[in-house]
Structure 1
Amino acid sequence: MGVHKWSANDSRGAIVLVHGTGEHHGRYEHVAAYFNQAGWDVYAEDLPGWGRSPGRRGHIQSFEDYLSRVREWTSTALADASGEKPVFLMGHSLGGLIATRFIQTDERSNELAGLILTSPCMKLKLAVPAWKEQLAQFLDRVWPTLVMPNGITPDMVSRDEAVQAAYRNDPLNYSKVSVRWFTELNRSMEKAWEERNRIKHPVLVLQAGADTLVDADAVEQFTAGLSDRQTFERFAGLRHEILNEPEKEEVLQKIVTWLNDNIPL
């Protein structure tokens, strides 16, 4: 599928943006526009199983399906930058977990200048009962493509009623995930915690304070275990999609300020 690029005039560098569960990169057009105005190119595309990406909706064979796609996007951004401008990796929610695993595992991650995470999925807010975990593990072996509701409702993502309506009516959003997706998510969250010490990049983590999907305390704990080049901020009262809340410009400006402060010399 390639990757979509929003270009800035007189670019200072680039951001590869990874979206979250059940959505698509088109929901970040306003984010890309803000970054473009600040002098940053943005690369993004739909993850496997979401948006216009080919394949079974809400399903992956393994988490590597995501990582290989992000590898393509970052390779394009790095090639365009030609070593002359910095490239940062940014992910929201599931995309934050994907971006984290990419930094932890990919051999080209050392070419990236830093990592930006917004409400990253390091631990789910609601604990899954043990019997459901066991059932999922069984179904993963016998019926991995079985889909189930992802539990995300429009009021969980933002306090903005216009955002809620757009989320509800967007035909490219998809509200189900497969059993294999669920087991791969759990496995990848565990790996992210186990391999925190592999992250040597500057990291910015911005977390929704009123998040009902991601465990904000766990995200803060995860960030605290990284290198001393990490910055964490929790936004009180904001729901999961902090880039779609009424205060989104405050959040976006914090990202731009951090980017400008972390351009490699």
Structure 2
Amino acid sequence: MNSLFINTLLMNQALASPVLTTSSQLKEWGLAGLTDRFQQQVKTGQFMTNDGLSLPYGKLVNPLHQKAILLVNGRTESYLKYHELALDLFNNGYNVYLYDHRGQGLAPRLLSNPDMGYVANFDDYVQDLEQFVQQVVLNEPVEQLYLLSHSMGGTIAALWLSQTQVRLQAAALSSPMIGIYLKPLPRWLVTGLLATLKQGCQWLGHEACYAPGQGDYQAKPFKDNVLTHSEARYQLQAEQLQLTPKVKLGGATLHWLQQALSAGDQAIARAGRITTPILVVQAGNDRVVDNNAQARFCQALPACSGGQPLVIKKAAHELFFERDNQRRQALEAIFSFFEQYPPPAGSSQPSAQR
């Protein structure tokens, strides 16, 4: 059975068509209506990292649900951005657990300039995910545990899955940042340039320096964005940032970019250790991450659905915030993929173990 057929099957053979929010509904509700629906379901809290940071999280839990999804977001994001997706997952029978990464969103910032995207070591993100699962997710009954990630969250998830002892049914990585879109510059040139610029930054005594083309947060009009073709969803995100300005984050620092590029390489190198079945969902017109790197990662996995990424044609980077048709294609494929991996028949133990 060839990979194209398998991917087509995932796109079209969902066991039951999920109920998903539409752009028309979002326009009708507005940000206030969407936020109110989220607040009716979410419980919030804090968990502690290995190095003493307190990171915020949200969970949407119904005791009747037997399935749970761990949602790992991307760079610059907060779980506040994921109201719509979290509600869609919850309304389709999943408990949802989501949190903010260190240095962004509602989490503590790591530099004196809060706009700078920075992490000391990419593995800090990975260890934070492990702590979130151990302290929050596994403290409640979880019969079926899945993972869903976006962009940087996909790199974090891939590295975590290569080393954690927690057992999951399956994982779906949407537009994973296994590599970064660097065209037209070759990777070797970028690597050398970053090293040279970082030396200069350190020589000048700066705490950190932005990567070329990066800077403090600036709002962009919809027509200039490369993340989504959905104006309704883009405008809701813009309104959320205006309502909660503390979650705004600017560009990436030189150090963050070095760490991210290295982490993508590590994700491919360690892919063979991952036993969890994985679906990689790719945005056909992505100009943020490297789709070729996603393909190499998929080829290195022992269990990559279809043997290659599932491509959502003409979609931009943020598949969960795209136009209704493309968003539905991605989510229907993910739901269908998860349905293929229930707990083993006759199993009396939760699938997620410490």
TM (normalized to structure 2)?
Answer: 0.68
- Deviation of the 1:67 alpha carbon: 1.4
- Residue deviations 1:129-179 (CA, integer Å, cap 9, x gap): 344232255258664632342799662110112233344452323122222
Is the 8 Å Cα contact of residues 140 and 183 (structure 1) preserved in structure 2?
Answer: no
SS in 2 for 1:22: coil
Is the 8 Å Cα contact of residues 280 and 304 (structure 2) preserved in structure 1?
Answer: no
CA RMSD of aligned residues (A): 2.3
**Residue number in structure 2 paired with 1:193:** 268
User: After alignment, is 184-193 or 203-212 more displaced?
Assistant: 184-193
**Residue number in structure 1 paired with 2:18:** none
User: After alignment, is 121-130 or 251-260 more displaced?
Assistant: 121-130
**Residue number in structure 1 paired with 2:195:** 134
Please give the alpha-carbon distance, in whole angstroms, between the structure 1 residues aligned to 2:63 and 2:83: 16
Please give the alpha-carbon distance, in whole angstroms, between the structure 2 residues aligned to 1:70 and 1:230: 24
**Residue number in structure 2 paired with 1:66:** 125
Which of 313, 319, 322 lines up with 1:245 in the alignment?
322
Residues 1-265 of structure 1 aligned to structure 2 (within 5 Å): 1-2=46-47, 3-8=57-62, 10-56=64-110, 57=114, 58-75=117-134, 76-81=136-141, 85-106=143-164, 108-109=165-166, 111-126=167-182, 127=185, 129-130=189-190, 131-138=192-199, 143=206, 145-148=208-211, 149=214, 155-169=225-239, 170=241, 171=245, 172-231=247-306, 232-246=309-323, 247-265=326-344
**Residue number in structure 1 paired with 2:16:** none
1:12 to 1:253, Cα distance in 2 relative to 1, 3 A: farther
Please give the alpha-carbon distance, in whole angstroms, between the structure 2 residues aligned to 1:224 and 1:135: 33
Amino acid at match of 1:245: E
Please give the alpha-carbon distance, in whole angstroms, between the structure 2 residues aligned to 1:159 and 1:69: 32
Please give the alpha-carbon distance, in whole angstroms, between the structure 2 residues aligned to 1:214 and 1:63: 17
TM (normalized to structure 1)?
Answer: 0.89
SS in 1 for 2:292: helix
Is the 8 Å Cα contact of residues 268 and 300 (structure 2) preserved in structure 1?
Answer: no
Give ranges in structure 1 of 5+ residues lacking alignment: none
Please give the alpha-carbon distance, in whole angstroms, between the structure 2 residues aligned to 1:66 and 1:164: 26
- Deviation of the 1:187 alpha carbon: 1.6
Highest relative contact order (Cα 8 Å, sep 6+), 1 or 2? Answer: 2
SS in 1 for 2:226: helix
Please give the alpha-carbon distance, in whole angstroms, between the structure 2 residues aligned to 1:100 and 1:144: 30
- Deviation of the 1:194 alpha carbon: 1.3
Amino acid at match of 2:72: V
Report which of the two structures shows the higher radius of gyration computed on alpha carbons: 2
1:102 to 1:215, Cα distance in 2 relative to 1, 3 A: same
Please give the alpha-carbon distance, in whole angstroms, between the structure 1 residues aligned to 2:87 and 2:298: 28
Amino acid at match of 2:328: E
- Deviation of the 1:31 alpha carbon: 0.9
Give ranges in structure 2 of 5+ residues lacking alignment: 1-45, 48-56, 345-354
Please give the alpha-carbon distance, in whole angstroms, between the structure 2 residues aligned to 1:68 and 1:6: 23
Is the 8 Å Cα contact of residues 144 and 178 (structure 1) preserved in structure 2?
Answer: no
1:139 to 1:62, Cα distance in 2 relative to 1, 3 A: farther
Amino acid at match of 2:235: A
SS in 2 for 1:41: strand
- Deviation of the 1:216 alpha carbon: 1.6
Please give the alpha-carbon distance, in whole angstroms, between the structure 2 residues aligned to 1:213 and 1:229: 22
Please give the alpha-carbon distance, in whole angstroms, between the structure 1 residues aligned to 2:146 and 2:227: 25
SS in 1 for 2:162: helix
User: After alignment, is 26-35 or 222-231 more displaced?
Assistant: 222-231
Amino acid at match of 2:128: R
Please give the alpha-carbon distance, in whole angstroms, between the structure 1 residues aligned to 2:97 and 2:249: 22
Instruction: Figure out how many residues of one structure are paired with residues of the other and give that number.
Output: 261
Amino acid at match of 1:68: Q
Amino acid at match of 2:314: G
1:9 to 1:139, Cα distance in 2 relative to 1, 3 A: farther
